[in-house]
Amino acid sequence: MFENLSEKLDLTFKKLTGRGRLSEKNIQDSLKEVRLALLEADVNYKVVKNLVEDIRERSLGQEVLESLTPGQQIIKIVNEELTRLMGNDIQSLQLSGKTPYSLMLVGLQGSGKTTTAAKLANFLRKQGRHPYLVPADIYRPAAVDQLGKLGEQIDVPVFPTDLARKPVDICLEALSKAGRESLDVLIIDTAGRLQIDEKLMAELVKIKEKVNPNEILLVADAMTGQEAVNVAKHFNGALDISGVILSKMEGDARGGAALSIKAVTDKPIKFIGVGEQIDALEPFYPDRMASQILGMGDMLSLIEKAQDKFDEKETKKLEKKLRQSEFDLEDFQAQLKQVKKIGSLDQVLNMLPGVGQLKKLNNMKPDEKKLVKIDAIINSMTKWERRSHKIINGSRKRRIAQGSGTTVQDVNRLIKNFVQTKKMMENFTKKGPLNSMNFLP
């Protein structure tokens, strides 16, 4: 996310932080570069103009010009202004009043609406809710089938839609059935079009009037940049949406939609889709996103992901083995699998402060294939080799390499990395109990 923008801003701020004192000209020149970087990131022109002006006013004030670290003060100001631009605080779903609550998902065809409906149901189920998926797109039978399969995958009931009925009748019947079966959140997947038209909007307005949903959430494709912002304006004008879910954020290297939508529509981004997996939907934190854009990482999100994915029983078992110096290659393999549950290596590294910039500096691209190779090497070992790496001599290494389709050098590299990781993790246990973060290999 935001890779291109982050890189350009990083270069700009490096020039500033390298100076002991700043003049008005230094600041003005840097803000020109910031403005250009934002425009190239496909941020709305008016949004860029207002944002840069706000940063300029604050940057020319006493807190910067009289500071001992003026460059860092400007970065702090940019961070705060980006956060404000995206909404300052997290905006939760408005689930209050009489149940069942209803969430109406709207958007263009191809924005990821149906998948997002299932992701949202999965998210709410983990929060202790009892969601009910409603396929209301009678024009695309594949969407109805898709939602049915996704609901089955996450163990969430799906309303049996009759394609011969009108969407508004489907929604009302589903609402009634949800009440009878104690399902507390209705998630309505409405029809989309390739483009906005009057017929689509009239149908959505009718559903809104009859169902009176708690939330109308626009699902917009983040990768379409300014087009996503234009779509948001149209839907908001017709339906008065309550929020936005930006899908496909993991593939958006620019960030124009995320940085523009709140300012243009005055409606918050509530969730972001960060991958194809069913659990790849996250609440949107403006402050954390601003930190990521500026290369400061996002440790809070990483910790939350780790706590959600890691098994506490396994963690305690691992801690016991480490304290007794019994950590072996089987445990090492298990921990790598735990890390993979958090997300791709690229996503995990980008959440660590400064690592994103280090990757660019060294032209480094995390190779997911290496994890597959490690898995294959460990699987080619005998039980005793996995439990006691010291018995792995030259002939054993040749056999393991042949069995895993790798080289002896690969096996040597794995054993070396394992020994280093084991030492590091044993050092951590001396400092206190393990938690879900301090034993990432």
Cβ–Cβ < 8 Å for 39, 290:
no
User: Looking at residue 13, what is its pLDDT?
Assistant: 81
In whole angstroms, give the CA distance from residue 40 to residue 2: 11
Q: What is the pLDDT of residues 132-156, one digit of tens each?
A: 999 999 888 888 999 999 999 999 9
| Residue 100: cis peptide before it, omega within 30 degrees of 0 | yes
User: Looking at residue 358, what is its pLDDT?
Assistant: 44
At residue 175, does pLDDT exceed 90?
A: yes
User: Looking at residue 96, what is its pLDDT?
Assistant: 85
Task: Give the pLDDT band (50/70/90) at residue 247.
Answer: very high
Q: What is the pLDDT of residues 36-74, one digit of tens each?
A: 999 988 889 999 999 999 998 888 876 666 665 777 788
What letter does residue 389 receive in the DSSP assignment? G
User: Looking at residue 362, what is its pLDDT?
Assistant: 44
Higher pLDDT, 268 or 313: 268
Stretch among 96-110, 157-171, 267-281, 323-337 having the lowest mean pLDDT: 323-337
Higher pLDDT, 320 or 60: 60
Cβ–Cβ < 8 Å for 172, 210:
yes
In whole angstroms, give the CA distance from residue 421 to residue 418: 5
Cβ–Cβ < 8 Å for 265, 67:
no
Cβ–Cβ < 8 Å for 352, 299:
yes
At residue 311, does pLDDT exceed 90?
A: no
Q: What is the pLDDT of residues 336-348, one digit of tens each?
A: 777 666 666 566 5
Higher pLDDT, 198 or 21: 198
Q: Compute CA distances 333 → 330, 342, 343, 408, 422, whole Å.
A: 5, 15, 16, 19, 12
At residue 119, does pLDDT exceed 70?
A: yes
At residue 259, does pLDDT exceed 50?
A: yes
Instruction: Report the percentage of the chain scoring pLDDT > 70.
Output: 79
**3-class DSSP state for residue 428?**
helix
At residue 435, does pLDDT exceed 70?
A: no
In whole angstroms, give the CA distance from residue 182 to residue 172: 16
Closest CA to 13 of 31, 25, 38: 31
- Could you tell me the domains of the chain? 3-85 (1.20.120.140), 101-288 (3.40.50.300), 301-431 (1.10.260.30)
| Mean of the per-residue pLDDT values of the chain | 82
Q: Which range has the top average pLDDT, 91-100, 246-255, 312-321?
A: 91-100
User: Looking at residue 427, what is its pLDDT?
Assistant: 66
